[in-house]
Structure 1
């Protein structure tokens, strides 16, 4: 039994009128009659009693109706749900990233997303670390790949997507520049240049730009940098040192800056964020693609 036959039968049961059934389905009245006669031949019995004045279900027609209707309603519900989800992917999604190497994973995911949803729009932008959550809270971004930790009641936090080794940017003439590696304890003998911004969570600053070493020694704090390139310039000018992903040396080269790896600092973790109140099918689908692309092609491999 074909779907169009089921729909014709169920509509005629509702209308009990061939002309009105034909109008609802956009068919010729004669076509409705043909479909019903074909069904009756398949069943081997009359489904409707027809007279010049009325159309009524036969007992066998009622039995067929009672058996078909729940299944048809379930199918229709599934189709409607699929359409709803499909419409959800048709709108724009706005994705942010805070570092070029995380931006590469976002761009790869965007290519896959638009390949699967040709009508979808993807808008990508860089988020400055001096206000890492501002664009999201201003409803300018739906999803973001950024440095952890983030612990905010209005922001949902996904799993870690990838982690990068931590290094220390130092002036080229600094004693640390000659070392193969440095320790977190060494920060007590340097001036730290942190990110500056009133909207940066303090726990985030403490994780990336600590104020004390693991043994409790104070770490001198130098001038804050509002933007990443400003931090690189301050280090190059000899104003201090600044922690960073080792990857930063590839993207922000400076003749007066050397990046030395830490041998005892944990890696910097990058993960996904989205507003708790605005989680959608688009956000979930795009987040999964970022996890897949970041796992299949690491940012360091993509950048050569």
Structure 2
């Protein structure tokens, strides 16, 4: 019989792939985690992790066990959370923001289900402008938002990566790139990239609008633009190009604009944010509903 602490140790280690971080997460010693995993491996009869001085990774058997146990573990946790919510009652108002139209689709879908389950709680939905991605959250206009990452701020809590989207380059239809099936990050050195302007963290801008290619070539930047509709206009009139989620081709149909997928760029990840220390019952419930509708994706090798 698998005990709860063994299950938690195994699943947490399968996420962290690091004994120290696992111990810190579960608030036990590293030795305790090591002993628990060894005991579990003896019970199974085979190694579940491959350990070296540099890294830890799941064996094929360990991955199989993880994939089998995790859904049941999360279902139990969700059931307990739903029971606790039902006991407390969910009332008041919840503000939810989104930073892209495809994020908004998921937020609206989750809000509809939230209202059915918790009719005494109102949900207000609003778009969060790319020029001020954290302003509404910090000001309290929204309590939770689904937005493009990365976000690394001390006053903002980051939840799971809910989904990711392949990147594309939005170019004028007269641009040489428009005739190609794919482009690479190196190709950005031969175009003028149009970045966003506003109250935006530098690391976010560097991630989405890099200044150098992977080989170190300079990427020309045009004047920063405040509103997304302006980006569409600038691109259509041949004043530059812009990085965007490939799905944008279905949402931003416009004459004179072509979306060309990247062959080597990492996907754009979208995750949930809320104010640190303010994960209220309303926030946790809405997050759980989003996870039901769209289970979180694996990020950097972690579930």
Q: What is the TM-score normalised by the length of structure 2?
A: 0.68
Q: Secondary structure at the match of 1:192?
A: coil
Q: Secondary structure at the match of 1:226?
A: coil
Q: Secondary structure at the match of 2:113?
A: helix
Q: 1: CA distance between counterparts of 2:266 and 2:132?
A: 24
| Structure 1 residue 83 displacement after superposition | 7.6
Q: Secondary structure at the match of 2:145?
A: strand
Any conservation in 1 of the 2:85–2:281 contact (CA below 8 Å)? no
Any conservation in 2 of the 1:90–1:117 contact (CA below 8 Å)? yes
Q: 2:88 aligns with which of 78, 85, 89?
A: 85
Any conservation in 1 of the 2:131–2:227 contact (CA below 8 Å)? yes
1:184 aligned residue: 185
Q: 1: CA distance between counterparts of 2:132 and 2:194?
A: 17
Q: Where in structure 1 do 4 or more consecutive aligned residues deviate above 6 Å?
A: 81-84
Gapped regions of structure 1 (runs ≥ 5): 1-80, 297-304
Q: Secondary structure at the match of 1:274?
A: strand
Look at both structures and tell me which one has the larger radius of gyration over its CA atoms: 1
Q: Secondary structure at the match of 2:146?
A: strand
1:256 aligned residue: 256
Q: Secondary structure at the match of 1:277?
A: coil
Matches within 5 A, 1:132-151: 132-151=133-152
Q: 1:82 to 1:220 in 2, by over 3 A?
A: closer
| Structure 1 residue 84 displacement after superposition | 6.9
Is 1:240 matched up with 2:243?
no
Matches within 5 A, 1:104-143: 104-143=105-144
Across the aligned residues of Structure 1 and Structure 2, the Cα RMSD in angstroms comes to 1.4
Q: Secondary structure at the match of 1:144?
A: strand
Q: Secondary structure at the match of 1:204?
A: helix
Any conservation in 1 of the 2:195–2:221 contact (CA below 8 Å)? yes
Q: 1: CA distance between counterparts of 2:238 and 2:92?
A: 48
Q: 1: CA distance between counterparts of 2:292 and 2:87?
A: 25
Aligned residues between the structures: 213
Is 1:226 matched up with 2:226?
yes
Q: 2: CA distance between counterparts of 1:205 and 1:163?
A: 18
Q: 2: CA distance between counterparts of 1:224 and 1:108?
A: 33
Q: Secondary structure at the match of 1:290?
A: helix
Q: 2: CA distance between counterparts of 1:291 and 1:214?
A: 34
For residues 236-273 of structure 1, give each alpha carbon's deviation from its aligned partner in whole angstroms, at most 9, with x where no partner exists: 01011100001111111110110000000001000000
Q: 2: CA distance between counterparts of 1:243 and 1:116?
A: 38
Any conservation in 2 of the 1:229–1:252 contact (CA below 8 Å)? no
For residues 140-191 of structure 1, give each alpha carbon's deviation from its aligned partner in whole angstroms, at most 9, with x where no partner exists: 1100000000000000001100001100000000000000000000000100
Q: Secondary structure at the match of 1:203?
A: helix
| Structure 1 residue 82 displacement after superposition | 6.6
